[in-house]
Structure 1
Amino acid sequence: MEDVVIPYELPETENHSFFFIDQYIDTRLEAKLHRHDAWELYYVVQGRGARMAGDTLLPFTEGNVTLIPPSMHHHWNYSPSSADEKGHVHYRMVAFKHSFVLNCMETFPELRNRLTGMTFPTEALTFGTASSRLIRHSLTKMDGLDELGRLCEMFRLLPILFTASDYTFVGKPMRIERDVRRMQQICAYVMAHYIHPISLDDIATEIGMNRSAFCSYFKRHKGMTFSQFVTRYRLDTACNLLTHSQNSVSEICYLVGFQDVPHFVRVFTKEKGMSPGRYRKKH
């Protein structure tokens, strides 16, 4: 059965310009695939897992800072093993309407001078090291401020969010509801089964298509074959494990679904431009 994209209503902000939350939550209670009419700035304080933003599924880890555009479908799926001793993960999030940005630009020339002429992103993006450090500092600081203090901090954040150059696009919007649900099914299936071999027949049956139709559909919408998509997800997950775990290269090979260590090393080296061992040393 296909999952439904939830139109998610943010908490009441009638007496506030934006919504801020410092959240500890059980991994089972985090919101499913949803969307809302606001920018979402999301900082993962503790936890790791996989994020779906628009048409893209990618792993995320502690420290990740991502900006989701208004109305984009997204889902943060945390791994239970990344929770603390109480079973909780931790994130800080700011959500604000686009009208908030425009009103601020209209009211404050200092902000308008910084943002005039820039193009607001239509894709989800993850910030690089320098900008992430500034954003994490602001969101952490917000947790100890009153409402007026948080507003002042937002004035500092907006230019960083919309003029930063160290970012990576991590999701394009999907306009057709049926395709959103299908891609969500596909991504959810990969997340649940990537450790084991995934056959085209199995995934095609999962979403109610025959093998040939599925291959054509997936290539048309993702610009790559399903096999390439699974391999990319496995390699991205391997990168996270190389960076954030003490597992050996051979252990990581099997943890991400490869069945042969030399083959894993060859594929990793070809796609990432360096061996797994060198990648670990570099990061």
Structure 2
Amino acid sequence: MTLHTNQLIAGHFIEPDTYWVKRPHGQNDWLVMFTLEGAGFVYHQGVERVCTKGDIILLAPGTPHHYGTVKHHTWQFVWTHFPNMLTETSLLPQEDQVFLTIENESLQERIYQAFSRILADSRERGEYWFELCCNAIREILLLMAQKTIHKMDPRIEEVLHLLSQMMREDIRIEELAQTVGLSPSRLSHLFKESTGLSIIDTLNRMRIQQAALMLSYTGRSASEVCYDVGFQNYNHFTNQFRKWQGMTPSMFMKEHRTTDATSSAAKS
């Protein structure tokens, strides 16, 4: 298969153990495959890797490869071939093969949703379909690059994701621990060991970072922002703001909104 500029193809396969593909000379495009269920294999440079749920593999153009379903299994996976022009992203690796295991279920779902958008847009061929597919491919490549750079226990990754999603809610460490299959004490220890902060400090820092952005750009009052980001007590919000920003919310607004107003006046 040879893909020309601005062409790509994607698919979602569920294959029996008789399925295999062999390309002794590789192809002219990139191939990325993400396993959803079952088991497959990829044979490359004398090494066979077994692909199970959460495994993602990226093969560079011109890379000889052989892949298929493991005997006595089915293999469910999503895939896309995409052109070399996407090297503009600077996200594509120097190696001819990258193999990663994505253990975090939230990250697995995010990658799957990106593939689903590629599948839908490449089939519908609506306006800007190729650009939309490229955006989804870039998201997958970014997530792979992030996984390569930051090696963290998937349970801690999951807790960080939950904190970001539930920032405005009343969060209980016991419930987080149950979700990721750890005791509260073990989760607290592992979390601080991995991030350098406690779960509560991490949550409060997330809230204050968001509050600072809102105070800078939305024109909302400090008391409104306090509740927007999940604090139920304004005094607690003020204390946490001072801890993470080095000043009170009112001082922050005076400094940043004055700076923004001055900057806008200068531009006009």
User: What is the TM-score normalised by the length of structure 1?
Assistant: 0.42
- Relative contact order, higher structure (CA 8 A, sep 6+): 1
User: What is the TM-score normalised by the length of structure 2?
Assistant: 0.44
Bigger radius of gyration, 1 or 2?
2
